[in-house]
Amino acid sequence: MAADYGHEGQEQSFVSRHVGAALSQKKTLSELGLTARGGREAVVTGLVVDSREVTEGVLFAALPGTNVHGARFIPNALAAGANVILTDSEGAEAAAEAIAEYDPAMVVVSDPRQTLAFTAALWFGAQPANMIAVTGTNGKTSVASFARRIWQELGLQAINLGTTGVEGDWHAPLHHTTPEPITLHRALASAAQAGITHAAMEASSHGLEQRRLDGVTLKAAGFTNFTQDHLDYHATFEDYFAAKAGLFARVLPEDAAAVINIDDPRGVDMAAIAQARGQALYTVGRAEGADICLMGQRFNSTGQDIRVRMDGTVRQMHLNLIGGFQGENVLLAAGLVIACGADADEVFNVLPRLETVRGRMQLAATRDNGASVFVDYAHTPDAVETAITALRPHVMGRLVAIIGAGGDRDPGKRPLMGAAAAEHADLVIVTDDNPRSEDPATIRAAVMEGAPDALEIGDRAEAILRGIDALEAGDVLLICGKGHETGQTIGDTVYPFDDAEQASVAVAALDGKLA
């Protein structure tokens, strides 16, 4: 069983099989920057957070978890051959009996998660030379993907890591937006060995709180926005912000660059943190004084024209992207690439070549009457509002929105999501998202507290079919919530389900194109 929660260990095992096993090597504790109790030296043959993955001579990291401390699995790890235990004082005390029996080298620190991150960086020893990270409630995947694509258009070998796995000039699956350090650094080292020189990664609040990025050497970091989410994990809104602020206050080096969206009210706070640490600051936004200023946007059915000023030069270009916020995301990505040393003229010249990120305001299907269906990952109140209002300028007719909320996650946002959709869409359909262990009807009822006039259709495939059937010429359907996901979690089972695929099938059926 995993030392923290199951996915960490499962992910490490999966990546080690499919990304490429760690280099066959041995290192001493001192080479890994570690000091054991009593100054004891030991040779380490590998790093493990899952006791089921332990082999002879490895270092087992027994980490404090949300529900259980990894020390619970120290006896199993020692019995399987671990010769070094990394944990905190609580973990050492909890496993004192097994430790006394096997007498491993004990590395006991106040923050074993952070120590593991730095240790993993030293163990794998390589990462792409140009690393950036982006945090914020919404937009992380789009910004990281756009940055990677800009680099590729400039002729550089690049990847992005996050919600959609590892994409670009080298590929690998991931189970977390920000993977645990062993998985992360194994992937980064493998990418570097494959010739990847540039990488953009998403920095989730969970990953930052749990110190997963602390061993990554960043040249720049970006901030998109800050709205309600993940209050099932973070005790308060301020705790949630503090976790994200850790990217600039702790992880990003003082000689690196911070690229901040100052249109967001908390962007000013992030900028102050960056300035206090001496980081080079690039501001992005509509504000007159922004370093990269979005001066104007004009929308049509295929995308948008944007007018931008940077360093006194005004540029205008067409983006094949739907939604005003995508223009903002593109400029944040451009700022990150420029902050890493790219020429501004070259960066802006390639922006018209960018394409929609899968599951982010993605055109999924078009009816014979011209009505369009879009899929977006919007799963917070602000994201739902932003997605609908950003799509509105592209729509001549009605805007229909399908929304739902995930189970076992921040229940307080459910009625707020309903209210956001009800205020800005012409027709709202409330359906199931990923109910997980909760009663789907209870979740839908909470969403409908904010959207009492919405249609309630529990079956997501039926909701999509009926939403598309309601579309007339000039109308648009926006399917919110799951974006790029290819499964729907009901109970403990993940059933195959892809919003874009369902939309395509529904359009084909309604327009008589199914064979």
Q: Is 261 annotated as a binding residue?
A: no
Q: Is 25 annotated as a binding residue?
A: no
For residue 33, the tally of other CB atoms under 10 A from its CB is 11
Q: Is 212 annotated as a binding residue?
A: yes
Segments of 136-219 assigned E as strands: 158-162, 165-168, 198-202
**What's the burial of 89, exposed, middle or buried (CB within 10 Å: 0-12/13-18/19+)?**
exposed
- Residue 234 CA, chain-centre distance (Å), reads 17
Q: Is 130 annotated as a binding residue?
A: no
Q: Is 138 annotated as a binding residue?
A: yes
Q: Is 24 annotated as a binding residue?
A: no
Q: Is 16 annotated as a binding residue?
A: no
Q: Is 433 annotated as a binding residue?
A: yes
DSSP structure class, residue 457: -
**What's the burial of 439, exposed, middle or buried (CB within 10 Å: 0-12/13-18/19+)?**
exposed
Q: Is 393 annotated as a binding residue?
A: no
8 Å CB contact between 229 and 190: no
Q: Is 136 annotated as a binding residue?
A: yes
8 Å CB contact between 505 and 428: no
8 Å CB contact between 314 and 301: no
Specify the residue for token string 């694509």: 149
395 three-state secondary structure: coil
Q: Which two tokens stand for residue 255?
A: 């000689």
Q: Is 435 annotated as a binding residue?
A: yes
Q: Which two tokens stand for residue 79?
A: 């019995």
Backbone torsion region of residue 337, taken as left when φ is above 0, otherwise alpha when ψ lies between -120 and 50, otherwise beta: alpha
Distance CA 96, CA 84 (A): 14
Distance CA 48, CA 16 (A): 11
Q: What is the per-residue DSSP string for 461-488? A: HHHHHHHHHT--TT-EEEEES-TT--EE
> Cβ contacts of residue 332 below 8 Å, gap of 6+?
134, 139, 143, 222, 224, 259, 261, 284
Distance CA 22, CA 25 (A): 8
Torsion of CA 115, 119, 120, 126, to 10 degrees: 130
Q: Which two tokens stand for residue 443?
A: 């979740």
Q: What's the residue count for the chain?
A: 515
Q: Is 137 annotated as a binding residue?
A: yes
Residue 176's nearest CA partner among 5, 19, 50 is 5
Q: Is 51 annotated as a binding residue?
A: yes
Distance CA 120, CA 23 (A): 12
Residue 69's nearest CA partner among 97, 84, 91 is 91
Q: Which residue type, as a one-letter code, is found at position 513?
A: K
**What's the burial of 453, exposed, middle or buried (CB within 10 Å: 0-12/13-18/19+)?**
exposed
Q: Is 412 annotated as a binding residue?
A: no
Residue 4's nearest CA partner among 52, 69, 95, 48 is 69
Q: Is 177 annotated as a binding residue?
A: yes
Q: Is 139 annotated as a binding residue?
A: yes
Q: Is 210 annotated as a binding residue?
A: yes
Report in angstroms the alpha-carbon separations of 233 from 139, 310, 384: 20, 39, 21
Q: Is 66 annotated as a binding residue?
A: no
As annotated, the binding site includes: 51, 136-142, 177-178, 204, 210, 212, 409, 433-436, 481, 485
As annotated, the binding site for ATP includes: 136-142
As annotated, the binding site for meso-2,6-diaminopimelate includes: 409, 433-436, 481, 485
